[in-house]
Structure 1
């Protein structure tokens, strides 16, 4: 049996069914635990791109609507984690949308590459420049 990181995604909705938070948690091979949480407006703006990523892996709409954590395979989990990490510190809606759509549009191999790169200094900055040209205004 091969060992791999284990990922889960949890989608939190308000009483009207709108997405208010998204959490991606990862348990790595060394026993460490990572969690990234995106809430508020960012969560609403990344919902469609995240759903595209999950749908590309065959995740059904019923799973997406569940209030239970969803187990993801390592490649899909890395893609989802990359999407959240890329938009978490951003404030401008246009950048959040551009970058989230850019990450969602990546192939699994490209997302795995960038997931590894953002672990290094300036990796997230390079990814954002690639996806939106480094807009600062």
Structure 2
């Protein structure tokens, strides 16, 4: 039996079917638990890039629309977690969209590399600079 991190993704929708929150939970190999939640406007803006990531791994629309948590394989889970972590603290819509699309367009190997890098002190900052050029927009 192989050991790997276990990931789940929960997509919460309102009565009209609009995405209002996305949660990714991870149980790591050391028994630790990580959870990240993106809600409100950020969830709306990351919906399409997240769906692109999930679709690239073969998840069908029916699985995307369920109200139950979706079990993700470790590579896909790391990619989804990276996307949420990269946009969570951002406020400006243009940066949220640019960075979410940049993470979604990464190969699974590149996403795995950056997932490991964001564990370091300046990893998220480096990722954001890579994806949006470090531009300060007003």
1:85 maps to what in 2?
85
Unaligned runs of 5+ in 1: none
- List aligned pairs for 1:16-31, cutoff 5 A: 16-31=16-31
CA-CA distance at 1:131 after TM superposition: 0.2
Asked if 1:117 is matched to 2:117, the reply is yes
2:107 maps to what in 1?
107
- Report the TM-score when normalising by structure 1: 0.99
Unaligned runs of 5+ in 2: none
2:71 maps to what in 1?
71
Q: Distance in 2 between matches of 1:22 and 1:43?
A: 6
1:95 maps to what in 2?
95
- List aligned pairs for 1:29-44, cutoff 5 A: 29-44=29-44
Q: Distance in 2 between matches of 1:50 and 1:24?
A: 11
8 Å CA contact retained: 1:23, 1:38: yes
2:15 maps to what in 1?
15
Other structure's SS at 1:84 match: helix
8 Å CA contact retained: 1:95, 1:135: no
CA-CA distance at 1:134 after TM superposition: 1.4
Q: Distance in 1 between matches of 2:102 and 2:110?
A: 11
Aligned residues: 137
Kindly report the root-mean-square deviation, in angstroms, between the aligned alpha carbons of the 2 structures: 0.4
Q: Cα deviation per residue 1:32-59 (whole Å; 9 max; x = unaligned)?
A: 0000000000000000000000000000
Q: Distance in 2 between matches of 1:67 and 1:19?
A: 11
- Report the TM-score when normalising by structure 2: 0.98
